[in-house]
Amino acid sequence: MITTDQKESRVNLTVFGEFTLADYKEFEEVVNYKVKFEGPVSLFFDLREMSGFTIDMALEEIRFARAHAHDFARIAILTDDQWVAWSAWLSKIFVDADVRVFEDADDAEAWLSGIESPVA
């Protein structure tokens, strides 16, 4: 299950439990709308409550990232899981965005707002 929250030029996504293809498609709709009407957006993924993801979701994420390589400004990923952090760094291959992984929500929020965090 996911929740999304939209702000100006930004989409926040929180994942609870398993991240499925249906969840990712819902996220894509929100992002596509924002990009169409606002241009490049920043993304904030809160993955602290994610228990895993499906393979079809992971493949869709790669496809979506490649199709939108220039549509993201900054991507903050909030997690304390080293494997999720590793896959986030791998996603940097597909997008021009500045991607950073955080363990603290306040640091991620500050960075997305343009305030550099001492821990990046």
Number of domains in the chain: 1
Residues 111, 102: contact at Cβ < 8 Å?
Answer: yes
Q: Is 4 exposed, middle or buried (0-12, 13-18, 19+ CB in 10 A)?
A: middle
DSSP state of 8: T
pTM confidence score? 0.89
The vertex-80 CA angle with 55 and 58, nearest 5°, equals 15
Could you tell me if residue 118 is inside a domain? no
**CATH code of 85's domain:** 3.40.50.10600
Q: What is the pLDDT of residues 50-106, one digit of tens each?
A: 999 999 998 999 899 999 999 999 999 999 887 777 677 667 778 889 999 999 999
Q: Is residue 120 part of a domain?
A: no
Query: pLDDT for 2-54, tens place per residue?
Result: 999 999 999 999 999 999 999 999 999 999 999 999 999 999 999 999 999 99
**What's the pLDDT at 120?**
46
